[in-house]
Amino acid sequence: MSKRRRNSSAQSRYEDGDDSDESSNPAQSPAPSVTARKKKKLDPSELCQQLYESIRNFKKEDGSTLCDTFIRAPKRRQEPSYYEVVANPIDLLKVQQKLKTEAYEDVEDLRGDIELIVKNAKAFYKPDSVEYGDACQLLEVFNANKAKLVEQEGQEGGSTEVKSARKITRHRKSMAIDDEAEDDGFDPYEELFNSVMTATDENRELHRMFQLLPSKKLYPDYYDVIDHPIDLKCVAVKIQTNAYATLNDMEKDLLQIVKNACTFNEPGSQIYKDAKTLKRIFMARKLDIEAGRSRKSSNRKGRGASLSAMVAALKEEAESSDDDLDDSMDTEGEGPLWQLFDQLYNTANTNDP
């Protein structure tokens, strides 16, 4: 049996017709204009979501949805030959799941999966088949909408964001010297870190579950699932050692912490919700820092008393026993490190105008 044999439509291959109700419009839609938010820069996850929806809702001349063939990969029992041809099966359901868990770091990651879907379809279906043609059109629609959306984002970002990015992307050591002279010790990296460490929800501190990685001995499955483990201690160490060249570099690590939490934990779990809340907080704080708003000088000379120094000094979970961890990071906030934290935080608050 030839391995490039299928001319059948998507409806005959899939038992579920959950997208048939989208075929009500018989007219062919031009490449839909992707609506970008005005006056607000979209984050990568929002950009990816808009692009996904633009191809998910695109209709062909006959009113059927263009992506019907690609919503779900053929079942192995029904199409075993598909898995002889396709080495890396992927479908739009998988893409949707990755969007929900914010697995895409940027639009290029999403484009890679869309291109893989198209590549798989072109490898399996005959060039004169409907499915082959749909795959080619799907990629054309995606690329067209991607170009429009990126152009809109670039126009709305304007020169202000370019200037603020340049301001933040100075080399860390030079910026530390300049900022100390200009802003009386203001450190944007420390301020962004503080926004995470001081975030609360009804007096419940949100950062606790993200300070240290889970023990490899107690939670080996975590390291089977998570490709890039990282915690707040790692971020703190990088702050202390001037490892971040830009504020965007630090934000990328914080986003990785959020991504890991959302990948490993169920969407309804408390840690999942806390990760999402922290993301909103530190991303908003980063925008304020870049725009020069809410600039709070910590009035601390040197980093010996900073929150990042305190977190950088924590023991790794895997290296410490339960008793050691209780001594250093008491859950009620009474341990010696947290006494220092409370003192620093309260001092910073009393100095605020």
Say if residue 22's pLDDT is above 90.
no
Q: pLDDT confidence of 249, banded at 50, 70, 90?
A: very high
Tell me what the mean pLDDT of segment 102-118 comes to: 89
Q: pLDDT confidence of 41, banded at 50, 70, 90?
A: low
The owner of tokens 């105008």 is 353
End-to-end CA gap in the chain:
78
Say if residue 85's pLDDT is above 70.
yes
The owner of tokens 């601390």 is 300
Under the phi-then-psi rule, with left for phi > 0, alpha for psi from -120 to 50, and beta for the rest, what region is 157?
Answer: alpha
**Residues 14-157, CATH architecture:** Up-down Bundle (1.20)
Say if residue 44's pLDDT is above 90.
no
Tell me what the mean pLDDT of segment 127-134 comes to: 94
Fold match between domain 14-157 and domain 169-348: yes
* Spatial separation of the C-alpha atoms in residues 18 and 282, rounded to whole Å: 38
If one compares 202 and 334, the residue with the highest pLDDT of the two is 202
pTM: 0.45
Note the pLDDT of residue 155. Answer: 61
The answer to whether the CB of 43 falls within 8 A of the CB of 83 is: no
Cα R_g (the chain), whole angstroms: 25
Note the pLDDT of residue 179. Answer: 46
Domain ranges of the chain: 14-157, 169-348
What does the pLDDT look like over 287-313, one tens digit per residue? 988 887 655 544 443 444 589 999 988
* Spatial separation of the C-alpha atoms in residues 224 and 100, rounded to whole Å: 20
Question: To the nearest whole percent, how much of the chain has pLDDT over 70?
Answer: 65
Question: What CATH class does 169-348 carry?
Answer: mainly alpha
